[in-house]
Structure 1
Amino acid sequence: MNDNNPESPAWRLCGAVLVAASLLFPSGLVRATETLTLLNWEEYLSEAVIERWQAETGVALQQIYFDSGDKRDEILAKPEHRIDLVVAGRISSDRFGSRSLLELISDAELPKLRNVSQRWRDSCGAYSVPYLWGTLGIVYRADRIAEAPQSWAALLQPTKRDEPHIIMMEDHEDILAAPLIYQQRSINTSDNDELRAAFELLQAQSSAVLTYEYAITSLKSQRHLDQADMALAYSGDQQVLNEVEGIEGEPWRYVVPKEGTLLWVDCLSIPANTPNKALAYRFLNFISDPEIAALNAAELGVATPNAAARALLPDAIRQDPSIYPPDEVLERSQVFETRPMEATQTRRRIISALINAHDAR
């Protein structure tokens, strides 16, 4: 955990582990005649919230996990998918919504959405509703690294250049955000020279990279547990990493580098072809209830866009700068904007080339 938040939230369920489910393996928490399927990041919905939902509705909640936005989009693009709800950002939700693959959100179905300000609603667009938000930064093991990283250089230009000890990620958007911010470029650039410079920085770093698998996925599977001491990560990830089997204490901590960060907003969308549309709306209304949103945010250690929910959070969470960053950090933050598909394809080719070269060694 962050140095400023040494204690876990009072209502956090000690040792709670998110139930991993797939279409073939139902949750089993309740005997339900109906099931709602959520496409989600791993460890990104509180177990206590799942239990409340199932107890109140009698509807089972199954989850399918992805560990990059690209993999999520691949699933959504398949017409035979059986997804009722999906966690996605504005760019993906707009892209799929414009192709009539996502439901145009009806505010009339969501009375509890009034607790979310228009600023956050605008961040998710017409095809989704705000879920959680945060920053992109560096997680590091304080028991192995004496001083907290201050700059993106610690991750991108490590002193131990030939010793694999860093975990990155394969998401073509977020992995490029780090070098672009470090080089004082826009994270939305379509300039080939700027993208090439970012690629070259990542290429030079690659000998120090253990894997481009998302840190939570990699370490929970016990891969690289003894070698990894730094990773590209999202705010809140340190809390999950500190719960990984084999980790003692809370060595993983999170920092936002001085050059700035990516401010991300995760949203919830309803695929247009779901036969469970009414249930999906019911879940969106449920997760927008201030008490439920506060419980979820507290257990995950991630910021909620729900103003009424934030007021219910313990002081330790509301005052934790790794969760709710100070104004000076927000002022140095960038957000992703919609760009031409050709620019997106260029980014995907860059990351594919980077990972293929790394894996070939």
Structure 2
Amino acid sequence: MNNHKTPFRARSALLAVTCLLFPSTAPYAGQTLNLLNWEEYLSEAVIERWEAETGIKIEQVYFDSGDKRDEVLAKPDHLIDIALTELISSSRFGQRGLLDPIDEQAVPNLKHVPRRWRDSCGAHSIPYLWGTLGIAYRTDRLPNAPQSWADLLEPANRDEPHIIMMEDHEDILAGPLLHQGHSINTSNNDELKAAFELLQAQSPAVLTYEYVITSLRSQRYLDKADMALAYSGDQQVLNEVEGVEGEPWRYMVPEEGTLLWVDCLSIPAKGAQKALAYRFLNFLNNPKIAALNSAELGVATTNAAAKALLPEEIRQDPTIYPPEAVLQNSQVYETRPLEATQTRRRIISALINAHEAR
């Protein structure tokens, strides 16, 4: 879900090959595609190749939580041409007629994406990247590396703010539910209440519920944060943001298990440039382009042909491509009743309001 820089030689080798593949043309000079996306979640090298090939600019609108993304997509006057989504949001907005069903014939490069990943995005989106949810932590500030969700949720120094969480009604509950032995998809009010109570008890140790990359990039809490709820790959961005030697930020998956997330790309029904949007989706799934994007971001690609092109050091990095034992101990989000989603939204609202009232 977020930028992770790889060694220069690996990136430059992929970029050199890609530049030979796509001669520069600009038949659509002056046009712009608007992409709703996480910050630093599309390689600059990929953007440059697309703009050189087509003359079409990529303008990105950033969000820092799924809830904020959904607020944009729900607005009747948004100008988004392509949106980063996931199965639950794309299914919900698709059922409301706000996202188009994907025409797979318009994305021939989807042939490189295994059915497993395509099924993970449903009828209204196509796969982009995937990874895990876990704990980012500073090795230079913690005497021991975290092992469990309890290390994040029930810290020893609970009265000292030092943890960063996130304002997302889905992902903030995954850790507490896993720690308590429940499904991340539960609709059981007692289980959701128990997870809420665990987050309430943790709250005095929380610096902010702003996404960790957004928070630290703005230079807040640099001297205090030592743990954060994070996505695989985030640690690389955090080390770049801090700019300190030794790359103190690391990432781990807790022993109780994790969320296996799959990010998808969707086309809003009211988009004015659908042909170009499909062209961009097909471009992203060209194996050479998908490999370049994955290498630049340090996030696992859903494109099998692209993965085969990645440098060995990336394919063997367990924070990018987790071992089978981690995958077997992972859960994925499933669609659930709207009432359960509303309960989750009330939980995050209550946490934020109580924290701000302190």
TM-score, with structure 2 as normaliser: 0.93
Equivalent position of 2:184 in the other structure? 187
Aligned AA (2:273): N
CA contact (8 A) 2:10 2:311 kept: no
Deviation digits for residues 233-278 of structure 1 (CA, Å, limit 9, x no counterpart): 0001111111115444411110000000000000000001111101
For structure 2, the 5+ residue unaligned runs are 13-27
CA contact (8 A) 2:166 2:210 kept: yes
Structure that is richer in helix per residue:
2
Aligned AA (2:348): I
Say whether 1:43 aligns with 2:46. Answer: no
Instruction: For 2:302 and 2:346, locate their aligned partners in 1 and report how far apart those are by CA, in whole Å.
Output: 34
Equivalent position of 1:299 in the other structure? 296
SS in structure 2 at match of 1:161: coil
Deviation digits for residues 37-72 of structure 1 (CA, Å, limit 9, x no counterpart): 000001111111111111111000000000000000
CA contact (8 A) 2:299 2:320 kept: yes
Equivalent position of 2:329 in the other structure? 332
Residues 36 and 332 (structure 1 numbering): CA distance in 2 closer, same or farther, change over 3 Å?
Answer: same
Equivalent position of 2:278 in the other structure? 281
Deviation digits for residues 296-354 of structure 1 (CA, Å, limit 9, x no counterpart): 11111100010000001111110111100011101110111001111100010011001
CA contact (8 A) 1:9 1:298 kept: no
Say whether 1:10 aligns with 2:9. Answer: yes
SS in structure 2 at match of 1:10: helix
Deviation digits for residues 11-62 of structure 1 (CA, Å, limit 9, x no counterpart): 337xxxxxxxxxxxxxxxxx94100000000111111111111111100000
How far the C-alpha of 1:7 sits from its partner, in A, is: 7.0
- Match for 1:205 among 202, 213, 219? 202
How far the C-alpha of 1:359 sits from its partner, in A, is: 1.0
Deviation digits for residues 194-229 of structure 1 (CA, Å, limit 9, x no counterpart): 011100100010000000000010001111111111
Deviation digits for residues 285-306 of structure 1 (CA, Å, limit 9, x no counterpart): 0000111111111111100010
Instruction: For 2:6 and 2:175, locate their aligned partners in 1 and report how far apart those are by CA, in whole Å.
Output: 30
Identical-pair percentage = 74
Instruction: For 1:81 and 1:201, locate their aligned partners in 2 and report how far apart those are by CA, in whole Å.
Output: 37
CA contact (8 A) 2:6 2:298 kept: no
Instruction: For 1:41 and 1:7, locate their aligned partners in 2 and report how far apart those are by CA, in whole Å.
Output: 19
Aligned AA (2:117): W
Instruction: For 2:231 and 2:105, locate their aligned partners in 1 and report how far apart those are by CA, in whole Å.
Output: 33
TM-score, with structure 1 as normaliser: 0.92
SS in structure 1 at match of 2:281: helix
CA contact (8 A) 1:9 1:314 kept: no
CA contact (8 A) 2:130 2:260 kept: yes
Aligned AA (2:154): Q
Say whether 1:113 aligns with 2:116. Answer: no
How far the C-alpha of 1:145 sits from its partner, in A, is: 1.7
Equivalent position of 2:224 in the other structure? 227
Say whether 1:317 aligns with 2:299. Answer: no
Instruction: For 2:355 and 2:245, locate their aligned partners in 1 and report how far apart those are by CA, in whole Å.
Output: 31
Equivalent position of 2:131 in the other structure? 134
Say whether 1:151 aligns with 2:141. Answer: no
Q: Which consecutive segments of 4 or more residues in structure 1 shift more than 3 A? A: 245-249
Say whether 1:77 aligns with 2:74. Answer: yes
Aligned AA (2:237): V
How far the C-alpha of 1:181 sits from its partner, in A, is: 0.3
Give the total of aligned pairs.
Answer: 341
Deviation digits for residues 105-150 of structure 1 (CA, Å, limit 9, x no counterpart): 1111111110000000000011100000000000001121232211
Equivalent position of 2:17 in the other structure? none
SS in structure 2 at match of 1:244: helix
For structure 1, the 5+ residue unaligned runs are 14-30
Residues 138 and 102 (structure 1 numbering): CA distance in 2 closer, same or farther, change over 3 Å?
Answer: same
- Match for 1:259 among 256, 261, 267? 256
CA contact (8 A) 1:9 1:299 kept: no
After TM superposition, list the pairs within 5 Å mapping 1:26-105 onto structure 2. 32-105=29-102
CA contact (8 A) 2:86 2:264 kept: yes
